A and B are shown apart, each in its own frame.
Chain A
Amino acid sequence: MAYDIYIPRDTSALANGADKLALLIEKEANQRNIDIKIIRNGSRGMFWLEPLVEVATDKGRVAYGNITLEQVESLFEQEFYLGEQSHTSCLGLSEDIPYLAKQQRLTFARAGITDPVNLTDYITHDGFKGLKQALQNTSQEIVTAVSDSGLRGRGGAAFPTGIKWQTVLDCPADQKYIVCNADEGDSGSFADRLVMEADPFMLIEGMVIAGLAVGADQGYIYLRSEYPVAHQILNEAIEKAYANNYLGQNIQGSGKSFNLEVRLGAGAYICGEETSLLESLEGKRGLVRAKPPLPAIEGLFGKPTVINNVLSLAAIPYILDKGAAAYADYGMGRSKGTLPFQLAGNLNQGGLVELAFGTSLQQLLDDFAGGTFTGKPMHAIQVGGPLGAYLPKEQWNTPLDYESFSAIKAVLGHGSIVVFDDTVDMLEQARFSMEFCVAESCGKCTPCRIGSVRGVEVIDKIRAGINPEQNTELLEDLCETMIHGSLCAMGGMTPFPVQSAFKYFIENDTAAKETAGAQ
């Protein structure tokens, strides 16, 4: 019998040479007359270990991390295909690796275990159990389960998913839509990508259930064009789902239908904002719409539309299968369930960590990050993407839940955590936030469109030492104008990283320099 060898086909693994590695391992096995079967699985989310090669044994999978082409020969010499653990790259049993063992994986339970486009694999690992349950429920029962789970949208705004679905369910219409927001534009985030590349059937299942819940028979996944691998895998999975009657007409003999299609974005960050996304899907410029009307009432092509983030929809099969209470058991306060935190930037052990809400940032970093990549002290941490504040050390003990973060004028957003060491130039970071807004503003409102251009100019003056005090005041005014005069969070939150950079880092540094100068 052939030995099963797992080599991920995920972006991170590929970016570190997984395709070449798979070819070489196959070739080496052929030359040695060893019968192996290579399975291109998803990633476990321990991206710093990619390519992570695993071998199936009767005790479980044995893992070998950061495998290079040069190591292939010695791996075979030391009979890694038997699960021999002597090789220097061997990490022991995958499930025992602390980074994995310490997580609470609900949404990412299958990530890296299955072949993402193998339907049988999916079904053997609890796939489509949520759908099976949903097919026995009324629409209202499904919506009630989602409401009771306490699930809040994972795309950033944390709006209760059940309320959104109820609104769409209660809206009579000849046509309704389910739209999945897979624009994942935030730097430092890759959880949506991991869902789509490691477990795409889960997203498909979540969307079919959403369709059953609100009475929609057409879905779109709006995927950013920066994710070519996810695009390929999603399309393969959708094709299989159609071929096996999990999509299309009369799904599993239920009389219910659901059609699904991937639509590619075109490199505009603002198209992650839900109304801009809908405009884009309709074939227009991605200009943000004024609300009301809510997309739930007048969404895609003017019809009632559920628009949810990938992670929100991916959480649905678990909730239907295991029950709302099982999901709500995780988390704290009004932040129920788990959030996949995404550790990124200057860290040794960057990757995805799914945990219940409530641990502190510091705890998370201590338990998982493994220090900085450069070996220098951590200095500034940007949580929640490019519109999120930079947090100084004093704030790292904040519990990771929505309310605690908004209390310090920060956001948890989509759960990305980007770490900088002490060589970071915070003025440069503040400038970048404004520059990003210049590049990505949809242009509809003046404070965002013009304010950001002025912001870059003013910060440049401060950097050049031109009237720094006056210009810092001017920048503060500009930030307030943007916060209060912008239609959406692009203009309204770009000031958060800027203000926090000044308040917690730049002013401290200036004060410290002045004190030092005075002594």
Chain B
Amino acid sequence: MNQSSNWDPQIAQNAIDELKGQPGALLPILHKIQNILGYIPKDSIPMIAKALQQTSAEIHGVVSFYHHFRTSPPGKHILQICRAEACQARGSRQLEAHVKDSLKVDYHATTADNTFTLEPVYCLGNCTNGPNIRVDDDIIAGVTSEKFDVIKEQKNTFVVELA
């Protein structure tokens, strides 16, 4: 399942060429590449370094500093569970345990069927209606264990339909 060589360097190069002229261009470039490819391929780092006249070590240092950036391909969906206090106060610890148990993965890992990559997140700004999760760009409120099972089922079915 290692897809790390299956990406088109031209995509990264286009993002770099489009954005490198901006002041402070590095984060916008990284976002753009990750938005399109789902991750920052390791081999794109020297390309970025060259364009910004920095070393690969410097670029790598930035990529690794930020929780958001990943250097390996994620599953079909990124699933984030809010671990912050206001969600804790409404049962996110139980939800977290249930999700890990149900998906059989810990944080920063992808399920065996490649459907979900599980990540922690510290607040989604919906602290009144927790526990909250985010699936790709959708934030979902009031996620009990039962509600999570339904969401999981939907995402699984959706993948099957597509295939």
**Interfacial residues, chain A to chain B (CB-CB below 8 A):** 11-12, 14-16, 47-48, 50, 184-190, 193, 225-230, 263-269, 280-286, 301, 342-347, 350-351, 373, 382, 386, 416, 418-421, 424, 428-429, 432, 436, 439-440
Contacts and interface: CB of A to CB of B under 8 A. Distances in A.
A15 B65 contact: no
Interface stretch (B5-13, B125-133, B153-161): B125-133
User: Which 6 A/B pairs are nearest by Cβ-Cβ distance?
Assistant: A350-B128, A283-B26, A187-B84, A266-B66, A345-B89, A267-B68
Contacts of A268: 65-68
Contact of B126 (A11, A228, A267, A432): A11
A141 B163 CA distance: 64
B24 A282 contact: yes
Interface of B: 23-28, 30-31, 52, 61-62, 65-69, 84-90, 93, 121-130, 132, 134, 137-142
A15 B121 contact: no
Given A284-B62, A285-B65, A382-B85, A15 B122 contact: no
A190 B128 CA distance: 9
Contacts of B85: 187-188, 345, 382, 386, 418, 429, 432
Given A280-B27, A283-B24, A432-B85, A226 B124 contact: yes
A487 to B, nearest CB: 17
25 contacts: A12-B128, A15-B126, A15-B129, A15-B132, A16-B141, A48-B128, A187-B86, A188-B86, A190-B125, A193-B125, A227-B125, A228-B137, A263-B27, A264-B31, A266-B66, A266-B67, A343-B128, A344-B89, A350-B128, A386-B122, A416-B86, A416-B127, A424-B89, A429-B85, A432-B85
Contacts of A342: 127
A170 to B, nearest CB: 24
A162 B22 CA distance: 30
A11 B139 contact: yes
B141 A267 contact: no
Nearest to B80: A226
A418 B127 contact: yes
Contact of B89 (A266, A283, A418): A418
A418 B86 contact: yes
Contacts of A350: 127-129
Contacts of A344: 86, 89, 127-128
A12 B67 contact: no
Given A11-B125, A47-B129, A264-B31, A285 B24 contact: no
A439 B108 CA distance: 13
A185 B62 CA distance: 20
A185 B84 CA distance: 10
A16 B129 contact: yes
A283 B90 contact: no
B28 A189 contact: no
Contact of A190 (B28, B87, B126): B126
Contacts of A269: 122
A516 B102 CA distance: 41
Contacts of B93: 428
Contacts of B86: 187-188, 344-345, 416, 418
A350 B137 CA distance: 23
Nearest to B124: A226
Nearest to B93: A428
Contact of B62 (A265, A267, A285, A421): A285
A342 to B, nearest CB: 7
Given A14-B139, A283-B27, A420-B89, A185 B126 contact: no
A406 to B, nearest CB: 21
Given A11-B124, A440-B122, 5 more contacts: A184-B125, A188-B123, A283-B24, A285-B61, A346-B90
Nearest to A19: B138
A416 B141 CA distance: 19
A49 to B, nearest CB: 10
Nearest to A284: B62
Contacts of B62: 283-285
A68 to B, nearest CB: 12
A399 B162 CA distance: 57
Contacts of A429: 85, 88
Nearest to A345: B89
Nearest to A220: B24
Contacts of B87: 187
Nearest to B35: A264
Nearest to B26: A283
A16 B128 CA distance: 12
Contacts of A225: 31, 68
Contact of A386 (B65, B84, B129): B84
A268 B121 CA distance: 10
B36 to A, nearest CB: 15
A263 B129 contact: no
Contacts of B142: 16
Contacts of A416: 86, 127
Contact of B128 (A226, A263, A351): A351
A264 B19 CA distance: 14
Contacts of B25: 283
Nearest to B140: A15
A436 B23 contact: no
Contacts of B31: 225, 264, 266
Nearest to B28: A263
B122 A436 contact: yes
B89 A226 contact: no
A416 B89 CA distance: 14
Given A345-B89, A350-B128, A424-B89, A281 B24 contact: yes
A237 B52 CA distance: 31
Nearest to A435: B83
Contacts of B52: 283
A264 B25 CA distance: 11
Contacts of B28: 263-264
B118 to A, nearest CB: 15
B135 to A, nearest CB: 11
A346 B67 contact: no
